[in-house]
Amino acid sequence: MADYDFIIAGGGTAGSILANRLTENGKYRVLLVEAGEEAKSMWISIPAGFSKLLTNPMFNWRFKTEPEANTHGRVISVPRGKGLGGSTLINGMIYVRGQPQDYDGWAAAGARGWAFKDVEKYFVKIENYAPGGPGRGTSGPMHLEQVKERFPVSDAFIAAAREDGQPLNADYNSGNQEGVGYYQVLQHRGQRWSAVDGYLKPARRRPNLTIEGGAHVVRLSFEGKRCVGLVYRKGGRDIAVRAQRDTILCLGAIQTPQVLELSGVGDPARLQALGIGVLHALPQVGEHYVDHFATRMNWRVKSAVTLNEMSRGWRLAHQVGRYYGARKGILTLGTGLVHGFIKTEPAMATPDVQYFFVHASYANAAERILDRAPGMTLGVAQLRPQSLGSIHITSADALTPPAIRPNFLSAEVDRQSLVHGMQIARRIVEQPAMQRFVDHELSPGSGVQTFDEWLDFARQNGQTIYHPIGTCRMGSDASAVTDLRLRVNGLAGLRVVDASIMPAMVSGNTQGAVMMVAEKGAEMILEDARA
């Protein structure tokens, strides 16, 4: 049986960061286990290539939710990155820290040491943001740029938002999130900059790092209440490996609780019903699932060329030439062009809704298939959803996907915020600055007027925007799955370092917060190893 100091399960965002940080002093032997293979595709480095990867089973686990009444019995896709780099290979590259109040809320709820004053330094450590600014990092491993492409329609949307009273905000990561402007994305010189680029490639030459790809974790190994390693399946064989110090789960909010339950850690009744022996009762494993739920409003555009037309025929050939000649043009675009962080009620202390504006419209949003006629889309998401769902195994077979029940829109605050956010979106588009570009509203359409009609549109058409968190919630209370140093409560030698530990949703895209958790987690693991 192979023996290491640390075993990292999952080579995604957090796993890549841990692999770098735990090996850089040269003292510890580290094994990184990843179910996916080495990510090799021309589409990974091309930012617009996300649309080619998002439905590809080689790079995406392609999870799906269970049908739920709140979303009219629809099955909703939940993409999760597969392969070294995880979701940073296939996501829209948008970087958002969240609001300082998010992390202060974590601390107030019992996660002491995780307030914004405690975690800000890790964001600074991550960032390589050339424009700089107060509290921003300029020398970290993750290159970060503001979207460089500008289009008449996107500029007009910003102008319309300002006519509506929304402030201009050039740096929503500076501590004040409110306003509109162009997104910041994890790119470098027109190419995607993933966790592999920033963290894993610099670490791979180190002799104390071993990377095992194509290795699907099937269960953890225990001696009493101490985790001593794990078993992974590769080439039809189950292979056991041992950790002298810690086994660290970095499999994300879906697969981390799945592996815990497969290993006998979870709700006893649930495990026994599946014939799994109970090693340690921890009933909240897989509970507290939270995700961002978004609607996409679309308009037919006039008097402008949009991404719909630019991505076809001679225009596409021109854009390909621009990209390979100068790393410019539409191939540098991800899922968001213009941001909006807005308050649906003026008295609110901070924004509660996020906008994603793109000068494109989709014939099929889930599959990212563009319309042929010119169009634009405004994605609308509530920033801090309160609807709680779950993820649980349905079989003792590690290769059977778990059941995902998000319970979207079950909380009244979520319904109110999302509907009001959509109503304000329509109001912005109706401002004078946008009128020369807007032909008519495609969806939900001008016939949707009442609160119930807006809500029904959301139930019928809303999708996750791929930010699941919370299923191994960190806290200081008795029901928390992980403690404040990310150790699984009641067990030794086992930690969780990924989005599943987040006690509440952050205000915006979650990859920045996951990176922060991994940087802070790595520091704590090394501190404890020296103790």
Ordered alpha helix ranges (H), 340-496: 412-429, 432-435, 451-461
Assigned token pair, 518? 């991994």
Number of H helices and number of E strands within the chain?
16, 28
Buried b (16+ CB within 10 A) or exposed e, 430-448: ebebbeebbeebbbbeeeb
CA distance 340 to 325: 32
Q: Which residues contact 509 (CB under 8 A, 6 or more apart)?
A: 92, 94, 95, 96, 465, 467
Residue type, 108: A
Residues designated catalytic: 467
Q: State how beta strands 237-249 and 2-9 pair.
A: parallel
Query: Where does 52-170 show beta strands of DSSP type E?
Result: 63-64, 77-78, 127-129, 142-146
Distance of CA 54 to the CA centre of its chain: 13
d(CA 516, CA 94): 15
Neighbours of 235 (CB within 10 A): 7
